[in-house]
Structure 1
Amino acid sequence: MSQHFTILVGSVLGAAEYVADALSDTLKAKQHEVSIQLDPDLEAIDQDSTWIICTSTHGAGDLPDNIQPFAAQLEGQDLSAVNAYIIGLGDSSYDTFCHGAMTMEKLLTAANATILAEPFHIDVLNHPIPEDEAVAWLDRTVTV
């Protein structure tokens, strides 16, 4: 049965976009409908789709600029109809490793969204091609 996935991207240097593209290709190969949002806007996102939030961390543990407005939109929302996965990209040599993904997890949880699996944090120090890790995670986690 085909599902619709919306991949919401928070990216500064492009790594999260590469991950989003790889996830999209994998899901489309399994006959799913996929949309990628590089400048996510809550009003434009199908809440019946399954969300995959894929974000890096910027600066001192901040969300990338392109996803910050979306994060602000989530505050005070009721997202109890939303099912989501979270993928974080980070560098474990920083004490703010994957804080962007952790921020998104907190916002979604506070808005009553359902997180379908433990958030997946990719350490780019150990996995210089994070899209390979993300696709392997998708294959073993998202049973579609």
Structure 2
Amino acid sequence: MAEVSIVFGTVYGGAQFTAETLAKKLQEKGHHISLKQTAELQDYVPSESEYLIIVCSTTGQGDLPDDIFPWFAKLKSQAPYLPKLQYSIVALGDSSYETFCAAGKQFDELLSELGAKALTPLLEIDASETMEPEVEVVTWIPTWLDAINKD
């Protein structure tokens, strides 16, 4: 089964709960999951032998949450070349704002710049349409599983 690291950035806990739900459901399917807490991100560089999933909410004017911003900034400044890394992004946002899912889009752009390859299209979960992003991410799991099985 796959080795998967899940990283989350949250303001009010929604992205964390979504990431925890995703981790639990993927573990139930036999995958080896490492759910990275904020303190673990300080020196974390994704291994190219694992799959990376980032679950991130957007705050302010399209900003990254404070808990994940230092890791984002460190990856951006150190720019490790990650050509074999495959990743997926689950972006939480509110489509009533111009900066809908901007934090997830920033991660997508950064990982692409680092040479990583998107395993699935960016998943945008709209708070205007659902109050339970964890339910949306569970319905996305078959898409992710299909993508890793094609790999």
TM-score range (shorter-chain normalised) is over 0.9
Write the distance in 2 (CA, Å) between the matches of 1:125 and 1:80: 35
CA contact (8 A) 2:55 2:91 kept: yes
Q: Secondary structure at the match of 1:43?
A: coil
**Equivalent residue letter for 1:24:** A
Q: Secondary structure at the match of 1:6?
A: strand
Listed as ranges, the matches of 1:18-97 within 5 Å are 18-39=17-38, 40-43=41-44, 45-75=46-76, 76-97=79-100
Shift in Å, 1:44: 5.8
Q: Deviations for 1:1-51, whole angstroms, at most 9, x for unmatched residues?
A: x11110010101000011111111110111111011131235364442100
Normalising by the residue count of structure 2, what TM-score does the alignment of the two structures yield? Answer: 0.89
**Equivalent residue letter for 2:49:** D
**Equivalent residue letter for 1:30:** K
Q: Deviations for 1:40-71, whole angstroms, at most 9, x for unmatched residues?
A: 23536444210000000011100001111111
Aligned alpha-carbon RMSD (Å): 1.4
Percentage of identical aligned residues: 33
Write the distance in 2 (CA, Å) between the matches of 1:41 and 1:81: 22
Aligned length: 143
Q: Secondary structure at the match of 1:34?
A: strand
Q: Deviations for 1:65-112, whole angstroms, at most 9, x for unmatched residues?
A: 111111112222201121100000001111111000000001000000
Alignment match, 1:141: 144
Q: Does 1:101 align with 2:104?
A: yes
**Equivalent residue letter for 1:59:** G
**Equivalent residue letter for 1:137:** W
Runs of 5+ in structure 2 lacking a partner? none
Write the distance in 2 (CA, Å) between the matches of 1:44 and 1:140: 25
Q: Secondary structure at the match of 2:137?
A: helix
